[in-house]
Amino acid sequence: MQPHFAHISLEECRFYRENESAEHLNLKAELFRWAVQTEEVEVEAFLPALQQIADLLVDEKLALEVQCSPLSIERLQERTLSYRQHGYQVLWLLGRKLWLKDSLTRLQKDFLYFSKNMGFHLWELDQEKQVLRLQYLIHEDLHGKVQHKTKNFPFGHGQLLDILRLPFQKQEMNSFLAQQDPQICNYIRRQLYYQQPRWMRLQAKLYQAGDNLLTKTAEDFYPQVRPIQATSFSQITTDLTGYYQQFENYYANLQQKNLQIVYSPAFYEMIREKC
């Protein structure tokens, strides 16, 4: 039998959905036990205006969606927009199959959130370790690999809503030392030799401007670790243009380019205001 509340029969338990995975059911139950300590929580809340069901509805306005398996980007965008249009906030919390690994998939980019204190971030649920995990300050290097920081929050410890608000709360500046590739020029030459599409497109663009990737030095590719780019982000409504520009300007003006420290977006904004 799949896990359910001890004081509710399986037939009455609103955690249970037919064909639901044990991971999904367990994680919903853990989140309920945690949130209900301090908040009003409804499980499998049917929202008539949206004609959809929220895994957990907290204080009537925050939908927590436990996503344990891939879904189409179109479906994710549709559900997110529907919540937003009807005045709900939605947080997607990711199960094992969707955890952040070496690189970001297109779907994972659509689960990203953004704040000035913690940059690009996403939430993961780990049933085995019994933790809610925040992956934050997520950046990509020129190999397409992610570099980031991680915070773990044990299930049931602290107030869940306070933890979920953490990216937007006042806090000390976050940063980390980026890992740069001293042989980045050799890497790019190999990518061009094997006609890797991303680098071929960039080379073609430079050719049109009378430039060439093969003549560049490692310093020309500084900073190697950069903010996430996408044509759109399902969970982010903020205009990121200013952040991208502040990021580029800060590193362009640095004299020492032998190392890179990555900071919260708030840092680059603060530097711009001081100039």
Domain spans, the chain: 22-171, 184-274
Mean pLDDT value of segment 249-263? 95
Asked if 203 and 212 count as a contact pair (C-beta separation under 8 A), the reply is yes
pLDDT of 106 over the 80 cut:
yes
Task: List all residues 6 or more positions away from 171 whose beta carbon is below 8 Å from its beta carbon.
Answer: 117
Nearest-CA neighbor of 136 among 126, 127, 123, 125?
Answer: 123
Question: Distances from the Cα of 79 to the Cαs of 23, 31, 45, 72, 237, in angstroms?
Answer: 21, 21, 14, 11, 15
pLDDT of 86 strictly over 50:
yes
- Determine the average pLDDT of the residues in 129-142: 99
The predicted pLDDT at position 19 comes to 65
Q: Alpha helix (H) ranges present in 36-136?
A: 73-85, 106-109
Please confirm whether the linkage preceding 223 is cis (ω < 30° from 0): yes
Tell me what the mean pLDDT of segment 20-30 comes to. 94
Q: Provide the percentage of residues in the chain whose pLDDT is more than 70.
A: 93
Residue 274: what pLDDT? 75
Question: What pLDDT does residue 159 have?
Answer: 97
HEC secondary structure over 15-64: CCCCCCCHHHHHHHHHHHHHHCCCCCEEEEEEECCCCEEEEEEECCCEEE
Other C-beta atoms lying within 10 Å of the C-beta of residue 237: 8
- Predicted TM-score (pTM) of this structure: 0.91
Nearest CA to 24 out of 94, 72, 84, 88 is that of: 94
From residue 127, give the alpha-carbon distance in Å to each of 64, 66, 68, 123, 147.
16, 12, 11, 13, 24
Question: Which of the pair, 179 or 8, is modelled with greater confidence?
Answer: 179
